[in-house]
Amino acid sequence: MCVRGCISLGWAGVSKGAMSGRVAKCDNSKTPKELFFLSKTSLRNLLTTSIILQAYEFFLFAGLMFLDMFVLMLLAMRYKYVDYTNVEGEKALEDKLEDKLEEAAGEESE
């Protein structure tokens, strides 16, 4: 019996002699050919599916990267640089603070 089911059941459109219950003649070379064809087709389908999934994954991560770049660009545009190396400006600020504290202390003592 071959894989394709060459045993006649009387309804599969086989020859008159096969309808009498005899086993129809199978071409034994068809079975390995069909095995290789189906194996090749299934492997091709698996590769195609994995390539398509990889493409979706690639575009997902690329989109997330561009979204992250956009957020970082907005943060960089709104960033205000503070110059901590301006020591004279700090001293002027400290002087103003000390003056305000002295004024506040002078008002409390009166």
Distance of alpha carbon 1 from alpha carbon 11, whole angstroms: 18
Query: Domain span at residue 41?
Result: 16-109
Q: pLDDT averaged over consecutive 10-residue blocks of the chain (110 residues)? A: 46 49 60 85 84 86 95 92 68 80 75
Residue 1 belongs to some domain of the structure: no
Give yes or no for a contact between 24 and 14, defined as CB atoms under 8 angstroms apart. yes
pLDDT of residue 84: 67
SS3 for 50-80 is HHHHHHHHHHHHHHHHHHHHHHHHHHHHHCC
Number of domains in the chain: 1
Residue 37 lies in a domain: yes
Q: Tell me whether residue 28 is in a domain.
A: yes
Q: CA–CA separation, 52 vs 48, rounded Å?
A: 6
Backbone φ, ψ for residue 85 (5° rounding): -85, -10
Q: What is the pTM of this model?
A: 0.38
